[in-house]
């Protein structure tokens, strides 16, 4: 699954790709380290927020930074580029969401919702902005490529079916 996310990032406007790795997934670390063009950053593997803060402390990284969860197997470069274009030169951070109704329609799990807007689910794609202010912009995309986060076996099955269908349509 991570290969699909990395392929989308490599084909996008992203200049440099870093992957946060941890002792919790040594096989994933080895797999990424074998790949050209992706640098790894060691984290404790204590959760998304803690690991993200570890990444953001690295002196060679400076905002704006696009962060992408590795559980988005339908992600494509065009989607990444559209998010980057929407962000433009904004200083605020950006949270990319999809409607909960889209996730329901697709049949995928809904693990989290935005506190202030419980009809929206974060996708795992964010832009960490350049300002220290707590201003965060919320972008909503009605796009299955952002809605399918694989958190459960059923999500993985649905994602595989969607990828198979998409491949068949491209033929």
User: What whole-number percentage of the chain has pLDDT above 70?
Assistant: 99
pLDDT, tens digit, for every residue of 130-168?
Answer: 877 777 899 999 999 999 999 999 999 999 999 998 877
Domain residues for the domain of 99 are 2-170
Q: Count the domains in the chain.
A: 1
Cis peptide before 64 (omega within 30 of 0): yes
Distance of CA 107 to the CA centre of its chain: 19
| Percentage of the chain modeled with pLDDT above 90 | 81
Q: 170: pLDDT confidence band, cut at 50, 70 and 90?
A: confident
For residue 14, give the nearest of 57, 70, 78, 73 by alpha carbon. 78
CATH number of the domain that residue 164 is part of:
3.90.550.10
- Between residues 117 and 79, which one has the greater pLDDT? 79
Q: What is the pLDDT of residues 92-135, one digit of tens each?
A: 999 999 999 999 999 999 999 998 889 999 999 999 998 777 77
Is pTM, for the whole model, over 0.85?
Answer: yes
């Amino acid at each position: 699954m991570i290969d699909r996310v990395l392929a989308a990032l490599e084909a996008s406007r992203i200049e440099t790709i870093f992957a946060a790795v941890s002792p919790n997934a040594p096989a994933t670390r080895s797999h990424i380290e074998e790949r050209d063009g992706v640098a790894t950053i060691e984290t404790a593997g204590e959760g998304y927020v803690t690991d993200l803060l570890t990444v953001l402390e690295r002196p060679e990284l400076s905002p704006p930074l696009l962060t992408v969860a590795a559980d988005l197997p339908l992600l494509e470069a065009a989607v990444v580029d559209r998010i980057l274009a929407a962000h433009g030169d904004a200083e605020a951070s950006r949270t990319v969401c999809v409607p909960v109704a889209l996730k329901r329609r697709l049949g995928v799990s809904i693990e989290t919702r935005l506190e202030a807007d419980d009809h929206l689910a974060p996708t795992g794609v964010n832009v960490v902005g350049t300002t220290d202010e707590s201003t965060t912009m919320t972008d909503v995309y009605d796009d299955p490529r952002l809605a399918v986060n694989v958190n459960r076996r059923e999500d993985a099955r649905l994602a595989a079916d969607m990828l198979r269908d998409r491949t068949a349509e491209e033929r």
